[in-house]
Structure 1
């Protein structure tokens, strides 16, 4: 299965395309505002408003043989710990080998932003190359996850 932290996810269509190719079920999890997909493999899950409600829904279900798509580092950490394969929207994988450093960096940056309210931040723009890397990474991750699921 593929779990997508769908609020503000720029690669929902790409997830559907790869899922169709493999017959994989997809859960698009959001607080609302997403148009339902007519695809029978895609289930829209609307969770109540609140901090991290969508993240908790995904973290409670993801495990070995699943793929999670998120940009949320704490959610990624929980899913990696549970044994799921986790990808950012640009195709970068969250792994047991890098998640600790990513969490530490995230926390450091939050502290720096809190200490300097005038600090301008923001990520770089999402590019066609990011989309292409994501498609390739999702294809590989899903193939591996499906092999793990088989008895």
Structure 2
């Protein structure tokens, strides 16, 4: 299993949670962005800079992720593609996106785009709060616990 991070808009505090988790569990975590993203020195932490352009980082994540991997993103179309490949998707707010809820999220995203295009000001998302950070850490821990159990059953790390 690998963790793929849509790092262009991922909050620093979420990256820090991911860095600690990657070290603790020994899971390769790659931040993909169209700018250089520094990561602490570690065999488990990687950063990939892609060329700038619309959805270039998203396309790179979709290309690299496999079934059973974890994708960290708040981008709904990216989440949909990752889910289609069998990946687990978690937003930086700790929201788990699945086959069962991604269609509703896509519909809401499209509706909000239509409203904004017609001039309605919807505002952005609320700032990341302590509850969001805790939800993210808890949901990530659940996914990593399943991974660790599978690794233990195989007799590997």
Q: How many residues align?
A: 150
Partner secondary structure for residue 46 of structure 2: strand
Q: For 1:43, what is the secondary structure of its paired residue?
A: strand
Is residue 32–residue 46 contact of structure 1 (8 Å, CA) maintained in 2?
Answer: yes
Gap regions ≥5 residues in structure 2: none
How far did residue 44 of structure 1 move?
A: 0.6
Distance 2:141 2:95 in 1: 13
Select the residue among 92, 96, 99 that pairs with 2:95: 92
Partner in structure 1 of residue 8 of structure 2: 7
- Tell me what 1:63 maps to: 66
2:58 and 2:99 mapped to 1: Cα distance? Answer: 19
Structure 2 vs 1, CA of residues 5 and 97 (structure 1 numbering), >3 Å: closer, same or farther? same
Q: Can you give the 5+ residue segments of structure 1 that lack an aligned partner in the other structure?
A: none
C-alpha deviation, 1:20, in angstroms:
1.2
The aligned counterpart of 1:40 is 43
Partner of 1:128 in structure 2? 130
In the alignment, is the contact (CA less than 8 A) between 1:47 and 1:53 conserved in 2? Answer: yes
Residue deviations 1:24-50 (CA, integer Å, cap 9, x gap): 001110111422432221111000000
Name the residue aligned to 1:113.
Answer: 116
Residues in 1 aligned to 2:5 and 2:126: alpha-carbon distance in whole angstroms:
21
What's the RMSD between the two structures over aligned residues? 1.7
TM-score normalized by the length of structure 2 = 0.89
CA distance in 2, matches of 1:119, 1:18: 38
Write the distance in 2 (CA, Å) between the matches of 1:130 and 1:143.
20
Per the TM alignment, residue 148 of structure 1 is displaced from its structure 2 partner at its CA by 6.2
Moved over 4 A (4+): 145-151
**Structure of higher RCO (CA pairs closer than 8 Å, 6+ residues apart):** 1
Contact 1:27–1:45 (CA under 8 A) maintained in structure 2 = yes
